[in-house]
Chain A
Amino acid sequence: MRWFVFIILGWCCTVLQTMLFVPRLLALRPFHADLRPDLFVLMALLVALVARGEEAFIAGWVIGMVADLTDPGSQRLGAMALMLALCSYAICRMRPVLVYERPATQIVLAAAMVLAVRPVQLMIVSWHSSAASVGFGLLVEQTLGDALYTAVLAWPFLWVTARLATHRGRLTERS
């Protein structure tokens, strides 16, 4: 893992996430919710697939903290940091039983991470928000849409970033 490249990639992903995937640009609105992919989840997935368990936990925590810092909806920090750190560590531990070089696996993992992270994130936002709580239907709609959008982008994202952030350009590189 090239950590310097990883930091640059993380910075670029943060900028893209906060600028590109906003309503009226690349965010989709098929129903009532603005659907957008989660590049932070994809970055955490990349780390989980190429780094050791402790490194994946720390990197996931940092990525999640950045996600908390740049998300104007969340009034408190720490939720995404914990969730992404745990998810990264869990996927890192599951690597021996996963054929994660396959695009299908990457797509499923990305969708699963979003499905694990996004409901918690939305519930915390709803809990701390002074406005009316998020409806269950909207929460499901938002979570499924984001998971689908993120899963679609997972394989091209990992294909590019793995070539930039790893020494041999493949996800199979791990200690």
Chain B
Amino acid sequence: MFRRRQASRMTRFVIAFLVVMAMSLLLLDRSGAVAAQCRRLAQHVFTPGQQWSREAMIAVRNRAPDLRPITDEQKQLEQMRLWLHESRATVAQQAARIADLERSQKAMQQILGQLPEYPIQVLPARILSHSYVGTGGGFRVAAGKSQGIREGQHVLYRYISRGRTSGVRDGQAVVTGMGVVGLVAHADTDFSEVRLVTSPECRLSARIVHWDRGEGKWVAAPEVGRLTGAGDGQAMIMELVRSNVDVAPGDYVVTYSAGIGIADSMILGEVTAVEPGEGGLTHRITVRPRVDWNMLDEVYVLTPRGRQAK
């Protein structure tokens, strides 16, 4: 009984204290300083929960479909936002492409900066016609049975659309991206006759290039051989290579500039067979050109720099 009465008294005291406190805060705290201080303290209690709930709301709002009615202005804004988003992606792609082009341009400028020092320039030319062929005896005649052309004969010469007026001279090399096509046999005023590397009349100094597994790169053998057309329109024969030189099918045969006056190490063909030569002191190497003769269309004449092409 006494305890209950004491508790009741305590409760009334607390209630009175709360009322006085609330009235004091309401009436005396005119500047709001106490309220601000209390709010700062209360933030420590409620802010973590508010942050969690804010993150949860954002996650829900991002996933949930928007059920609110959409006005025309909101539609326009949404379309504009999508358009901006796509435009940003497009601009990013174009910026990346421009950066690539700038890198390519710098690389090209470096190459062009080095080209003036290079003694050879590349002169593009077109194969004039497929109708100029050669017989086994090396005569050039127009195609047709009436001109003596028969099956089994091979093309040994071609004509190109560049001549002396373009700076082409006899003996210059004619190439494609696959390798050497031949040499200019006769440069006329506006066209030139090209002797193909498969012609028996075409003789070139060449070297063997083989894959060195130890060093992990292609290595040119120091020995220089003589490359001659086999006369069958399909292959070339390389001779005068000593038998102690390591040659195997799959090796490449490249030009040797000191012999023909053209660029060094240009691919002539690939070794397909290696046989002992006469007397066994040298190799007799069969070389297959990498150039596809049936697909020849555009070729390049390597001319000395300084002769202006028209």
Tell me, yes or no, whether B115 is within 8 Å of chain A by CB. no
Across the interface, do B15 and A58 meet the contact criterion of CB distance under 8 Å? Answer: yes
Q: 5 closest A-B pairs (Cβ-Cβ)?
A: A78-B26, A78-B22, A78-B25, A15-B49, A69-B42
Q: What A residues does B103 contact at CB under 8 A? A: none
8 Å CB contact of B53 from A15, A68, A78: A15
Known: A69-B38, A70-B42. A19 touches B50 (CB 8 A): yes
18 A/B residue pairs, CB under 8 Å, sorted by A: A11-B45, A11-B46, A12-B49, A15-B46, A15-B50, A19-B54, A20-B53, A54-B11, A54-B12, A61-B22, A65-B22, A77-B25, A77-B26, A77-B34, A78-B26, A81-B18, A81-B22, A124-B26
Across the interface, do A14 and B22 meet the contact criterion of CB distance under 8 Å? Answer: no
A54 to chain B, nearest CB (A): 4
Across the interface, do A20 and B57 meet the contact criterion of CB distance under 8 Å? Answer: yes
In the bound assembly, the distance between CA atoms of A18 and B42 in angstroms comes to 13
Across the interface, do A18 and B46 meet the contact criterion of CB distance under 8 Å? Answer: yes
Chain A residues bordering chain B, tally (CB within 8 A)? 28
Complex: chain A residue closest to B36, CB-CB: A75
Tell me, yes or no, whether A76 is within 8 Å of chain B by CB. yes
Q: What B residues does A76 contact at CB under 8 A? A: 25-26, 29, 32, 35
In the bound assembly, the distance between CA atoms of A18 and B48 in angstroms comes to 12
B264 to chain A, nearest CB (A): 77
A29 to chain B, nearest CB (A): 11
Across the interface, do B15 and A54 meet the contact criterion of CB distance under 8 Å? Answer: yes
Q: What A residues does B24 contact at CB under 8 A? A: 78
A-side binding surface: helix, strand, loop or mixed?
helix
B-side binding surface: helix, strand, loop or mixed?
helix
Complex: chain A residue closest to B42, CB-CB: A69
Complex: chain A residue closest to B53, CB-CB: A19
Tell me, yes or no, whether A16 is within 8 Å of chain B by CB. yes
Residues 34-73 (chain B) with a chain A CB within 8 angstroms: 34-35, 38-39, 42, 45-46, 49-50, 53-54, 57
Q: What A residues does B178 contact at CB under 8 A? A: none
Across the interface, do B49 and A11 meet the contact criterion of CB distance under 8 Å? Answer: yes
Across the interface, do A14 and B14 meet the contact criterion of CB distance under 8 Å? Answer: no
Across the interface, do B42 and A66 meet the contact criterion of CB distance under 8 Å? Answer: yes
In the bound assembly, the distance between CA atoms of A14 and B32 in angstroms comes to 22
Tell me, yes or no, whether A85 is within 8 Å of chain B by CB. yes
Known: A15-B50, A69-B42. A75 touches B35 (CB 8 A): yes
In the bound assembly, the distance between CA atoms of A85 and B49 in angstroms comes to 25
Complex: chain A residue closest to B12, CB-CB: A54
In the bound assembly, the distance between CA atoms of A101 and B226 in angstroms comes to 114
The residue among A11, A15, A74 with the most chain B CB atoms within 10 A of its own CB is A15
B62 to chain A, nearest CB (A): 14
Across the interface, do B23 and A82 meet the contact criterion of CB distance under 8 Å? Answer: yes
Across the interface, do A78 and B50 meet the contact criterion of CB distance under 8 Å? Answer: no
A7 to chain B, nearest CB (A): 11
Extra contacts, 5 of them, besides A54-B12, A76-B25, A77-B25 (Cβ < 8 A), are: A14-B49, A15-B49, A61-B18, A78-B23, A82-B26
